[in-house]
Amino acid sequence: MSAALPTSSREWHLVARPHGWPEAKDFALREAPVTAPAEGRVLVRNLHFSVDPYMRGRMNDVKSYAPPFKLDHPMQGGAVGEVVASAAEGFSVGDHVLHGLGWREYAEVPAEHAVKIDASLAPVSAYLGVLGMPGLTAYAGLFEVASFKEGDAVFVSGAAGAVGSQVGQMAKIKGASRVIGSAGSDEKVKLLVEEYGFDAAFNYKKGPVREQLAEAAPDGIDVYFDNVGGEHLEAALSTLNLHGRVTMCGMIAQYNATEPTPGPSNLALVIGKRLRLQGILVGDHAALQPKFVQEVAGWIASGALKYTETNVRGIENGYDAFVGMLRGENTGKMVVSLDA
């Protein structure tokens, strides 16, 4: 056990369910006592925690694939940290672990919900992004769900984000004939082409997505990795080739909508083109984790795969980081860092 444990920890609570865009009044940063871990548990000092689009859905009191956040309780999400006290076999003070109790400075984590990580492979924050849930989402979504094969032309929406940026690069590494991305600023478009090696990219705010995609993909696309939905999905359906595949990962265009959003007007194309549209939840692909970490860590080490993080420092800025991510202010993975 560690000799000098802190007595209190700050943590973010959801205090009201947002209607539309989350507002500061829906959240509160509160103090909570810290005690030595109970048997079979470890006390972790969080170094970084993740803010992700799916968290917006958990703020609604609706039945979904993950239970809603409880009001007046600390929110949850991916975090990496250092064990400062252990009452669990197999975990020692100083171990770095990945777990699901983010949004707080200290977390008492059941040992079965903590995964030791190798800090020598990459900075530990990478286990929240390129080597973590977003990276595995990209890997499983492209190779298992979309059945990617060498020579496919791939279109990725939200391509400068944590998932999209990895999808495009993985496709290039595995022999895509063409990789196209959309992003929300000229700076991100430049990053996609010059840093991440996309063949083409466009700013979706500068004109109709369908027209820009058609110009970027004159021979059509075989795979669409959808992080946005809405206009992007409609454009992709019109551009997909026969037997095209769509991985439906996210629909950030409608997460904060207060009215029902219409579906694509050209959905009937799915029939004639024999398209396959399939959703992905990363939890279904946990068995891929060891292979994924080994392969992607190798790509990072060789320089074949690059990644970007947007680090917001200080737990007090957790709400701002979350809303900033929803607005697309991040490039790559948005991470809240507490190790300052």
What spatial distance separates the first Cα and last Cα of the chain, rounded to whole Å?
24
Domain boundaries, the chain: 8-129+308-337, 134-283
- CATH placement of domain 134-283: 3.40.50.720
Is domain 8-129+308-337 classified as CATH 3.40.50.300? no
Q: Which residues of the chain have pLDDT under 70?
A: 1-3, 340
- Rounded distance between C-alpha atoms, residue 152 and residue 244, angstroms: 9
pLDDT for res 2: 44
Maximum distance among all Cα pairs of the chain, rounded to whole angstroms: 68
pLDDT for res 261: 82
pLDDT for res 275: 98
pTM over 0.85: yes
pLDDT per position as a tens digit, 183-231: 999 999 999 999 999 999 999 999 999 999 999 999 999 999 999 999 9
255-284 core/surface letters (b: 16 or more CB in 10 A; e: else): beeeeeeeebeeeebbeebebebeebebee
Residues 51, 57, 61, 66, CA torsion sign: negative
- Rounded distance between C-alpha atoms, residue 189 and residue 84, angstroms: 42
pLDDT for res 3: 55
**Measuring CA to CA, how many Å separate 95 from each of 83, 85, 117, 325?**
5, 10, 8, 29
